């Protein structure tokens, strides 16, 4: 199974000719002439979008202020999406086209209780300034950064467009 980010959608290529697409409000099978679409769609909707959040396997990603995260400030360059009650911290930052670096919006900080993974994803160009301890790196699109617990770090966009994803792991 292949997973491909497409806008605010996630498309899983389950098998040749069958895509399972997850977006902000629904899950559906893109049949591409696949007969399972008509049979499975009602079952998938019932299973993944349960009435009770505790029973749900799919969580809606909703916009939230970047400043809601400690050590971060809002910037017009980023729209941040999170899922309430998701089993781990997941922040998806949609980076609008940036030609000149905005003022730094993430202060150096440390997480003592968990590791963090950052993903920089773009089909075009997306460049970030990543600080890990005393070292500063310029990291381009389609890269991942491992930040072990206890490491001082920050991430600030320099230019481009795409997605920056932060996942904290207990």
Q: Are residues 71 and 48 in the same domain?
A: no
What is the model's pLDDT at position 1? 42
Same domain, yes or no: 69 and 21: no
My answer on whether 40 and 93 are in the same domain is no
Quote the CA–CA distance of 79 and 91 in Å, as a whole number: 10
Q: What is the pTM of this model?
A: 0.69
Domain count, the chain: 2
Kindly state whether residues 74 and 126 are assigned to the same domain.
yes
- Structural domain including 44 reads 2-55
pLDDT given for residue 84 in this prediction: 86
State what percent of residues in the chain have pLDDT above 70: 68
How sure is the predictor about 85, in pLDDT bands with cuts at 50, 70 and 90? confident
User: pLDDT tens for residues 23-59?
Assistant: 444 444 343 444 443 444 444 444 454 455 556 788 9
Identify whether residues 123 and 147 lie together within a single domain: yes
For 98-132, write each residue's pLDDT tens digit: 999 999 999 999 999 999 999 999 999 999 999 99
């Amino acid at each position: 199974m292949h997973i491909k980010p497409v806008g605010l959608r996630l498309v899983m290529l389950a098998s040749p000719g069958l895509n399972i697409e997850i977006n902000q409000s629904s899950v559906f099978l893109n049949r591409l002439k696949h007969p399972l679409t008509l049979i499975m769609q009602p079952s998938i909707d019932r299973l993944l979008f349960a009435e009770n959040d505790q029973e749900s396997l799919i969580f809606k990603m909703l916009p939230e202020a970047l400043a809601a995260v400690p050590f971060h400030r809002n910037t017009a360059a980023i729209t941040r999406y999170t899922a309430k009650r998701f089993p781990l911290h997941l922040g998806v930052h949609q980076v609008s086209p940036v030609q000149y670096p905005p003022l730094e919006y993430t202060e150096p900080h440390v997480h003592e209780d968990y590791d963090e993974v950052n993903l920089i994803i773009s089909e075009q160009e997306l460049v970030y300034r990543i600080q890990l301890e005393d070292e500063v790196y310029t990291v381009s699109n389609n890269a991942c950064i491992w930040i072990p617990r206890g490491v001082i770090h920050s991430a600030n966009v320099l230019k481009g467009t795409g997605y920056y994803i932060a996942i904290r792991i207990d």
